[in-house]
Structures are given as structure tokens and as C-alpha cells.
């Protein structure tokens, strides 16, 4: 049996598209969309109606200043592309209901990871003015759907595989391939085929753990990039804390200004919480872990002085998600900070270069050496995040004298 044949039983329990979704998607495909008819059709489904009203009033879609209460107006404001997105989100709810097994620690964490990847894929798309308006949120939302299929197919084995990720310091998709002969990315392809989603969706999802494409702006690169950012920002739990630092410069974020990336990372947890409650109901939402003691402290800018440019960027993104403003240092093998006495906090490979006057020196090499060499230059960003948090917490709450 080939790997593809052995995937087939995985999708058997997946529900087909809800009928309403199928009808809406057919209607919006027509060249001249009849918005009156579309409103009438959508109004027959209260869940979809409230979702569309929620989206029309959400900052995710930007420019709205006043409350929209009419479905027709909400549809006109969202337009064809966003109505398609709303329908896909609606479908996701039914996908969620057709999976019996629970994600370790709670399903909501799994969905938060996927929702966050959907949002970041969309934000990268809009900020880079790329033509994937209809696809980006949906592909991000569904990118790890294969994990749920694998969990549903062989729950015990899959839970064990999830536990092995950190134990063997090996990315999840590699372990899946060893056990099943295919990974969740390929299982996701099979799910897209079952739902007759466009081939572009299926191909993007099946390639999301491959190395970056040479076309920096490909949809697959956007999803890879979003997956990376969401892991770094510590939102939700996708079961795999490893990110590859190989070829980072080939991902779309490399084309965006620092301030734009900072904005995306800092606003992420609020937007994710909002969309999660829209999809699953607010009672289910677990607000992303806020690092409270740090968030309440006044923020000293942090200098990040790490020789490896990719790791320097990872550390800056993590600190940004904790609410710190950061400055990059260390170019051409030397520190660029002139007045070293004036620095507050520094994360560095070279703690000896800085005088005692510095408020706090975090020796990055301590963490890095403990990690050892990883295949594919992959680093456990959850571990790095927790380690940095502990170091900063020591500074934020000094021990009583
Ligand atoms: Fe994945
Ligand atoms: Fe993921």
C-alpha cells in the first residue's frame, strides 16, 4: 500500500461541507453576485449570520468605526472575498465537530495555533499587497488539520508521538513520517481533496514543512512564515515547538519593515482571542498565556546582541511578543553600542564585552549551549521563550533584600 492509499481511511470520518456552505460558495462564484439572494440564503443559518456580523464588526477587517447590525450591510461591507472566508470558518466549526479525539491540554489550544497562523498569513498578504486575499486566512486556518486526522486515526500512537517531540528533540512532521509513512501535511492534502477545495489550497498545505520556495511571495512561504511567527509568539499549541532557522531570509517577513512586524506580533494575541471567541463561543476561549508580571513592568528597551542573525531575529520577535521594544546590535563581529554604560538590558553571546553598569546581562550562550546542535538548524522556541521569561522575571521582581 502506498502512503497516499494509507491516508484514505483518515478522511472517512470527516463530515462533508455543510449544505449552506456549498450553496453560498456556488452563488459567489457567479460573475455578478446577487447580494440580495446571498443575504437571503445566509440568513437561513443563524450561526453563519452571527459569524458574518461578528466579522463585519471586527478590527480584523479594518476600517469599521460604527456597529453594523444588518446582515445585508455586513455582507456588502465584507464583500465577496470575506464572505467566502466566513463560510470557510463556518466549515471549520463542522470539521471540529467531526473530530472525536481531544488535543492534549485542550482543543482550543490547537485551534488557537491554527487561527493565529490564519491571521498572520492574511496580515502578511495584505501588508505585502499579494493577490491571496481569498486564500490566506483559510489556508492558514487549515494548515495543520492533518494532525487532527492522525490523532483521530490512531489516538494512542499519536499522543505518544507528540510526547516524543521534545524527548527526542525532533520536529513532529519527521516523527509522523517515520511512524505513518506520511506527515500531517500530506494528511491535510487528503482532507482538502475530500472537500474538493482548490488544488492550490491542498498543495500549499501539503508543502508547509518543506524548505522555503525560491519565489519569496508564494502562498506556501506565507504559511511557513506565519507558522514560524505564531510559534515564536507562543500563541496556542500545535504540538511542535521547533522552528528551522535555515533560509529564514527567504521568507516574506524579510521584505517587511521592522515596525510592521512589530505591529503584527504585538496585536496578535488580542486578534486571535477575538476570532477564537467568534468561532467557538467566548466561554470556550482560553486567553493566550499572558506573561503577567512582565507585562505590568515598565519596559526597558532590550539590546539583542547575538552574532547569528537568524537567532538574533528570533530573540527579538519573542521579546516583542512579551511587550518589549528591542534594538538589534552586533554587526560584523563587533558590538555597535557606543555608550555601554547607558544600556538597560542586553541579551548577548558576549557578556564580557559589557561593563557592570548595564542593568542586566542575559547570556544567550547559556541557553544555546544547553540545546546542542539540532538537525536542520531547528530550535525549540517554546524553551527559548520560557528561558528568556525566567531571566527577565528575575530582573523584574528582584529578590527581597
Ligand atoms: Fe504543521
Ligand atoms: Fe502549525
Give the 3-state secondary structure of the chain: CCHHHHHHHHHCCCCCCCHHHHHHHHHHHCCCCCHHHHHHHHHCCHHHHHHHHHHHCCHHHCCCCCCCCCHHHHHHHHHHHHHHHHHHHHHHHHHHHHCCCCCCCCHHHHHHHHHHHHHHHHHHHHHCCCCCCCCHHHHHHHCCHHHHHHHHHCHHHHHHHHHHHHHCCCCHHHHHHHHHCCCHHHHHHHHHHHCCCCHHHHHHHHCCCCCCCCCCCCHHHHHHHHHHHHHHHCCCCCCCCEEECCCHHHCHHHHCCHHHHHHHHHHHHHHHHHHHHHHHCHHHCCCCCCCHHHHCCCCCCEEEECCCHHHHHHHHHHHHHCCCCEEECCECCECCCCCHHHCCEEEECCHHHCCCCCCEEEEHHHHHHHHCCCHHHEEEHHHHHHHHHHHHHHHHCCCCC
pLDDT tens string 290-335: 444 455 555 677 889 898 889 999 999 999 998 888 888 756 556 6
User: How many Å lie between the centroid of ligand 2 and the Cα of residue 122?
Assistant: 15
Distance 195 CA to ligand 2 centre (A): 20
Helix 381-396 / helix 219-233 crossing angle, nearest 10 deg: 40
Quick one: fold of 292-396?
Rossmann fold (3.40.50)
Q: From the CA of 31, how far away is ligand 2's center (Å)?
A: 35
61-111 pLDDT per residue, tens: 655 567 888 899 888 888 887 887 788 777 777 777 777 788 888 888 898
CA of 315 to the centre of ligand 2 (A): 20
On whether the pTM is more than 0.75, the answer is: yes
How far, in Å, is the centroid of ligand 2 from the Cα of 248? 16
The number of the ligand nearest the C-alpha atom of 117 reads 2
Q: What's the pLDDT tens digit per position in 2-54? A: 555 677 777 777 777 677 777 887 787 777 888 888 899 888 888 888 888 88
d(CA 101, CA 150): 10
pLDDT at 364: 94
Neighbours of ion ligand 2 (CB under 5 A): 144, 227, 238
Q: What is the pLDDT of residues 141-155, one digit of tens each?
A: 889 999 998 998 899
Around 203, how many Cα atoms within 13 Å sit in the side-chain half-sphere?
7
Non-local (6+) Cβ contacts of 270 within 8 A are none
pLDDT the model gives residue 315: 95
**Ligand 2 centre from 19 Cα, in Å?**
28
Rounded to the nearest angstrom, the distance between the alpha carbon of 143 and the centre of ligand 1 is 6
Please classify residue 19 by burial: count the beta carbons closer than 10 Å to its beta carbon, then call 0-12 exposed, 13-18 middle and 19+ buried. exposed
Q: Report yes or no: 124 and 222 within 8 Å, Cβ to Cβ.
A: yes
Domain ranges of the chain: 85-284, 292-396
Q: How far is the CA of 154 from the centre of ligand 2 (A)?
A: 20
Q: State the pLDDT at residue 231.
A: 95
Q: How far is the CA of 285 from the centre of ligand 1 (A)?
A: 22
- Gap from CA of 283 to ligand 2 centroid (Å): 24
Between the CA of 275 and the centroid of ligand 2 the distance, in Å, is 17
pLDDT computed for residue 378 by the predictor: 87
Ligand 2 centre distance from Cα of residue 208 (Å): 8
Distance 296 CA to ligand 1 centre (A): 33
Better-predicted residue by pLDDT, 285 or 233: 233
Among candidate residues 142, 154, 177, 162, the one with its CA nearest the CA of residue 100: 154
pLDDT of residue 346: 86
Nearest to 207 by CA among 146, 129, 285: 146
209 Cα–ligand 1 center, Å: 6
Ligand nearest to the CA of 226: 2
Residue 71 cell numbers, joined: 446582515
Q: Is the pLDDT of residue 161 over 90?
A: yes
pLDDT of residue 357: 62
Q: What dotted CATH number matches 85-284?
A: 1.10.3210.10
How many angstroms separate the first and last alpha carbons of the chain?
Answer: 68
Amino acid at each position: 500500500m502506498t502512503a497516499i492509499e494509507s491516508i484514505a481511511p483518515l478522511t472517512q470520518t470527516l463530515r462533508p461541507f455543510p449544505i449552506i456552505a456549498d450553496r453560498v460558495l456556488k452563488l459567489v462564484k457567479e460573475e455578478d453576485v446577487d447580494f440580495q439572494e446571498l443575504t437571503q440564503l445566509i440568513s437561513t443559518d443563524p450561526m453563519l449570520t452571527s459569524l458574518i456580523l461578528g466579522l463585519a464588526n471586527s478590527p480584523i477587517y479594518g476600517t469599521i468605526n460604527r456597529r453594523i447590525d444588518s446582515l445585508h450591510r455586513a455582507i456588502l461591507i465584507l464583500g465577496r472575498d470575506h464572505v467566502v472566508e466566513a463560510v470557510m470558518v463556518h466549515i471549520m466549526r463542522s470539521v471540529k465537530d467531526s473530530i472525536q479525539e481531544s488535543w492534549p491540554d485542550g482543543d482550543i489550544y490547537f485551534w488557537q495555533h491554527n487561527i493565529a497562523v490564519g491571521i498572520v498569513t492574511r496580515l502578511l498578504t495584505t501588508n505585502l499587497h499579494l493577490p491571496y486575499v481569498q486564500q490566506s486566512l483559510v489556508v492558514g486556518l487549515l494548515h495543520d488539520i492533518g494532525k487532527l486526522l492522525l490523532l483521530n486515526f490512531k489516538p494512542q500512537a499519536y499522543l505518544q508521538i507528540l510526547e516524543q517531540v521534545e524527548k527526542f528533540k525532533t520536529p513532529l512532521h519527521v516523527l509522523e513520517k517515520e511512524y505513518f509513512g506520511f506527515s500531517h501535511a500530506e494528511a491535510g492534502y487528503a482532507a482538502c481533496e475530500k472537500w474538493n477545495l482548490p488544488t492550490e489550497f491542498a498543495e500549499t498545505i501539503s508543502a508547509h514543512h518543506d524548505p522555503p520556495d525560491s519565489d519569496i511571495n508564494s502562498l506556501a512561504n506565507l504559511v511557513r512564515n506565519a507558522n514560524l511567527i505564531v510559534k515564536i509568539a507562543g500563541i496556542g499549541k500545535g504540538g511542535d515547538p521547533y522552528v528551522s532557522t535555515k533560509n529564514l531570509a527567504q521568507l516574506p517577513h524579510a521584505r517587511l519593515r521592522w515596525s510592521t512586524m512589530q505591529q503584527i506580533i504585538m496585536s496578535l494575541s488580542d486578534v486571535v482571542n477575538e476570532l477564537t471567541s467568534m468561532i467557538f463561543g467566548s466561554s470556550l476561549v482560553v486567553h493566550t498565556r499572558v506573561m503577567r508580571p512582565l507585562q505590568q513592568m515598565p519596559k526597558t528597551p532590550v539590546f539583542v546582541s547575538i552574532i547569528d542573525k537568524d537567532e538574533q531575529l528570533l530573540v527579538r520577535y519573542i521579546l516583542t511578543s512579551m511587550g518589549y521594544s528591542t534594538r538589534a546590535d552586533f554587526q560584523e563581529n563587533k558590538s555597535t553600542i557606543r555608550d555601554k554604560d547607558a544600556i538597560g538590558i542586553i541579551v548577548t553571546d558576549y557578556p564580557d564585552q559589557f561593563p557592570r553598569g548595564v542593568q542586566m546581562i542575559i547570556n544567550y550562550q547559556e541557553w544555546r549551549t544547553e540545546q546542542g546542535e539540532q538537525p536542520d538548524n531547528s530550535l525549540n522556541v517554546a524553551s527559548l521563550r520560557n528561558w528568556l521569561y525566567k531571566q527577565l522575571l528575575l530582573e523584574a521582581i528582584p529578590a527581597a533584600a
